[in-house]
Structure 1
Amino acid sequence: MSTPPNPPPYWYHHYHRGPRFAKRFFWFALGGFATAMWMRNRDANGDFRMQHACMRHKPREQLRAPEAESSPATAGARAWSQEVAHGPMPAPGNATPGWEQENATEIIADMKKKAADTAVELSEATLDTIMSTAMSLKAKLAERTTRLDEENKRLRQELEALKKSPPRLV
């Protein structure tokens, strides 16, 4: 029986949705709308970081060449009012790595060496296991061949004995 003994009216397979269905559908639709608007806004602004593997930087706007200033009073006012686009500061050419970077490099080198040693040990252990298994199989095969040879020799001797003295049938 798939239904309770006294089913409520209009019993069907979507009855369990009940009065909460409208609330859930509203929040689902609101989330979908917000996501669509956010994606549309990102596309309009040209932000393609999540969609494309290759991100090229937008070309920087060329800075205007400073015009010849006529008076020092207006030159100072213009200097304070103009906004200058500052790019990222270039790294100095003779910068030496810090202690943290050297320490991290040493730690990474040690980890690489330990990983390589562990891989070598595992491969040696695997090869030793394979060799011991092969040796044991070879020993079992040799034992079986000697046992079969002995059994064949015994059967030949019995056959020759039967040929020499055949059984008497009366």
Structure 2
Amino acid sequence: MISTLKALHLSLKLNTTKIYAGQGIGIVVELYYSGNNPLYINVSFPIVFSSSTPCGTQKLVGFKVFKGYYTIENISMAKPLYFYKPSEYYYCPVIFAVTQYKLLPMSDEIQLIYNGRLQATMHDVLMASLNGYWIGSNFTYFQPGIYTVEAVDYFNQTVLAYFTVL
């Protein structure tokens, strides 16, 4: 039998490791569950992870991007970049009331359940294509240097990847 944590595979993929200023970077974060039986997670409030949008996501994964080279040891000191204008108002999609998450076996699919009733089924995957970030009310393309991408999941797994802007 596979232990629960060993059956949870967090992956972070970048479409490239080098771009020029003005070009975009593609990011894919996925949580794959390789267990043979569904995995149930009881929660007392909805889980909302950070993503490239101001609304976040109810998936069990999230990601942030930081300017500079960081490791697991020092990333907590880093300041994440904003990929949306922070001073704006945004209309976000509904956040489902959730009392339980169900990870479906041998897949990246999760089900959001409220008091035994299925609210939604979705892939536990985030995808983004980014070419810059916001500093206050000003948008700037990625500037030359190294950037760190941090993927995280509900189970406290973390994966880092790096890209360079030339």
Per the TM superposition, whether the score is higher than 0.5 is no
Q: TM-score, normalization: structure 1?
A: 0.14
Q: TM-score, normalization: structure 2?
A: 0.15
Higher relative contact order (CA 8 A, sep 6+): 2
Name the one with the larger strand percent: 2
